[in-house]
Amino acid sequence: MQLKKLIKKINKENAPPDGWSPKDRVQDKPEPGKVYALTGGPGSRCIANGNSWKDSEISPEQQEHAKL
């Protein structure tokens, strides 16, 4: 419960003058049909290292290379 209180406090202290709105939410979600790196080594672009879904997307070329 302490973490929840800390998050609320930080959000309150950093809120814009007119308050938070739905457009302020992070809109980062995985998209159907795309492949993402969930895990990886240190410094790699993957979800486990704190990167966004968009940053963790694997290109078709990378997918082909991984199959070899």
Asked if 54 contacts 31 with a C-beta cutoff of 8 angstroms, the reply is no
**Which structural domain range is residue 67 located in?**
30-68
Provide the pLDDT for residue 22: 86
Provide the pLDDT for residue 68: 63
> Does residue 22 belong to any structural domain of this protein?
no
Q: If you write DSSP's letter for every residue of 12-45 in order, what string do you get?
A: HHT--TT---GGGS------TT--B----STT--
> Does residue 51 belong to any structural domain of this protein?
yes
User: Of 33, 57, 30, which Cα lies nearest the Cα of 45?
Assistant: 57
> Does residue 11 belong to any structural domain of this protein?
no
> Does residue 67 belong to any structural domain of this protein?
yes
Domain count within the chain: 1
Q: For 5-59, what is each residue's pLDDT tens digit?
A: 998 999 889 988 998 888 888 788 999 999 999 999 999 999 999 999 999 999 9
> Does residue 23 belong to any structural domain of this protein?
no
> Does residue 41 belong to any structural domain of this protein?
yes
Q: Let me know how long the chain is.
A: 68
Residue 1: pLDDT band by 50, 70, 90 thresholds? low
Provide the pLDDT for residue 27: 81
